Structure 1
Amino acid sequence: MKIDPSYYLSNQPKRTPSSELGKEEFLKLLMAQIKNQDPLNPMDDKEFISQMTTFSSLEQMMNMNSSIQQLVNNQLVSPVIQYSHMIGKEVSYYKIDEKTGEIVEPKEVVTAQVKAISEREGFAVIELDNNQKIYTDEILRVSTPGLSE
């Protein structure tokens, strides 16, 4: 009686090969190395410690990579959402000449209430109740209307 190998192989769980050595694979390799070492010539303690240090460093780098990826994802928040908490706040900024886009001299501070936040070319634009639109880097002061100073 002959066993058909195609039947046996089709019942095996499919595993996609990976070019990366993960934590589990590293531990399996290390344990196999320890189990199969020559009893008359065991693995050197220094070599074992070196491999464990390498493993520890690898794990720390993987954790750091995960943290950096999370930080990058947090930075991808839309500027509209990022500055939406400013709606209803009062902002002060230097008056800008609408024709030139330059600050009017002598510098005059204007205060207006934020009515909306929009986005232009990836930057947050503050829309004010005096029909002005300014960028966030133009804001000198943010305050809550009605609170005494």
Structure 2
Amino acid sequence: MTTIDPSLYLNNQTTSRTPSNNLGKEEFLKILMTQLQNQDPLSPMDDKAFISQMATFSQLEQTMNMANSIDALVQSQLMSPVIQYSHMIGKDVSYEAYDQETGEKLGVKTGSVVAVSQKEGWAILELDNGEEIYADAVLKISSDEESERPGKVSE
């Protein structure tokens, strides 16, 4: 004869619940279904009240969907290297230049950032001298106003 596990008895189940001030989509739907199940068949719920509750439920669901979409948009914007480095447009940057063929160091060069693009998840700074460098190759950043100050010796 098979026996039933005593941990499955209803009196052995936990009955505690943590109350919450937030009413979510699932809770709203449970309340609505309970109202429909327990209404008097001879005096059903007023159709205007029912329609109002359904409209509220629909509005709640749309608001939750919109909030999720905005969160996804914000996260994608924060992760974009183009957005992260767009503040560098118009700035002068110094970087270590290398010969494309030999890999030999050519010394430190300076150029003004005219655009920021993305390649394989890395930020690429496009400079006014026609070169493209990775953003992490920048050694120094300076603004145009800083290089045009009176008394400043330009390179």
The residue number in structure 2 matching 1:54 is 56
CA contact (8 A) 2:39 2:45 kept: yes
More displaced stretch, 54-63 vs 41-50: 41-50
C-alpha displacement of 1:40: 3.3
- TM-score, structure 1 normalization: 0.51
Trace 1:60-71 onto structure 2 (pairs within 5 A): 60-71=62-73
- TM-score, structure 2 normalization: 0.49
1:115 aligns with 2:117: no
Identify if the C-alpha distance between structure 1 residues 10 and 19 changes in structure 2 by more than 3 Å, giving closer, same or farther: farther
The residue number in structure 1 matching 2:23 is 21
Distance in structure 2 (CA, Å) of the matches to 1:83 and 1:90: 7
1:38 aligns with 2:74: no
CA contact (8 A) 1:83 1:117 kept: no
Gapped regions of structure 2 (runs ≥ 5): 1-9, 86-115, 144-155
Name the SS for the 2:58 alignment partner: helix
- Aligned pair count? 99
Identify if the C-alpha distance between structure 1 residues 67 and 51 changes in structure 2 by more than 3 Å, giving closer, same or farther: same
The residue number in structure 1 matching 2:146 is none
More displaced stretch, 25-34 vs 58-67: 25-34
Report which structure shows greater RCO (CA 8 Å, sep ≥6): 1
Identify if the C-alpha distance between structure 1 residues 40 and 58 changes in structure 2 by more than 3 Å, giving closer, same or farther: same
Identify if the C-alpha distance between structure 1 residues 10 and 74 changes in structure 2 by more than 3 Å, giving closer, same or farther: farther
Letter in 2 for 1:115: I
Name the SS for the 2:131 alignment partner: strand
Letter in 1 for 2:51: I
Q: What RMSD, in angstroms, separates the aligned Cα atoms of the two structures?
A: 3.3
Deviations, residues 41-79 of structure 1 (Å, cap 9, x unaligned): 221111111111110111000000000111111222252
The residue number in structure 1 matching 2:95 is none
Distance in structure 1 (CA, Å) of the matches to 2:73 and 2:54: 29
Distance in structure 1 (CA, Å) of the matches to 2:29 and 2:126: 58
Deviations, residues 58-116 of structure 1 (Å, cap 9, x unaligned): 10000000001111112222525x844364x7533xxxxxxxxxxxxxxxxxx231222
